[in-house]
C-alpha cells in the first residue's frame, strides 16, 4: 500500500538555525498538509496546500514557516529560525480528493528537537 514518506525521522538543530522537513506524498494525491504535535499533546494543524499554493494556515504558521512543492513530488516545510518551542513531532499528510469523507494519510513524522 502506498505511503506518505517523511525524512528525516529525527532532526536535532540549534536555536536560530533553519530546518527543512521533507515529505514525499502518495503519487496522484492532490491535497497536502502539515501538522505538528508537541510531546503528549494534541495534533495541531499548521497549513494546507493545493495546486501549488496555500489554501489555509493556522495562527501557528507565522512568517518563520514556509511550504513548497519544488519538483512535483517532494513537499517541504521550512522553519527559518527555529525556537525552542518549535520542538515537536511534525507530520505530513495528504489525501487524494476533496470532500468530507476522505481521510488524511499521515507520514510517520519527523521529530524536531531544538536545543
Binding site for another protein (CB under 8 A): 31, 33, 35, 41-45, 47-48, 55-57, 89, 91, 93, 98, 100-101, 103-106, 108-109, 111
* Nearest CB to another protein, comparing residues 21 and 93: 93
Q: Which three cell numbers stand for residue 103?
A: 481521510
* Nearest CB to another protein, comparing residues 86 and 105: 105
With beta carbons less than 8 A apart as the criterion, state whether 110 and 89 touch: yes
Least CB distance from residue 101 to another protein, whole Å?
5
With beta carbons less than 8 A apart as the criterion, state whether 25 and 32 touch: yes
Residue bearing cell 499548521: 46
Least CB distance from residue 114 to another protein, whole Å?
18
What is the distance between the alpha carbons of residues 90 and 35, in angstroms, rounded to a whole number? Answer: 6
Amino acid at each position: 500500500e502506498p505511503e506518505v514518506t517523511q525524512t528525516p525521522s529525527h532532526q536535532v538543530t540549534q536555536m536560530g538555525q533553519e530546518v527543512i522537513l521533507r515529505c514525499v506524498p502518495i503519487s496522484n494525491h492532490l491535497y497536502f498538509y502539515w501538522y505538528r504535535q508537541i510531546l503528549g499533546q494534541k495534533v495541531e494543524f499548521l497549513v494546507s496546500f493545493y495546486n501549488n499554493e496555500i489554501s489555509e494556515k493556522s495562527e501557528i504558521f507565522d512568517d518563520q514557516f514556509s511550504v513548497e512543492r519544488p519538483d512535483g513530488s517532494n513537499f517541504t516545510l521550512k522553519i527559518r529560525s527555529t525556537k525552542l518551542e518549535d520542538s515537536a513531532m511534525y507530520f505530513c499528510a495528504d489525501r487524494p480528493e476533496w470532500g468530507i469523507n476522505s481521510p488524511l494519510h499521515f507520514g510517520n513524522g519527523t521529530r524536531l528537537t531544538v536545543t
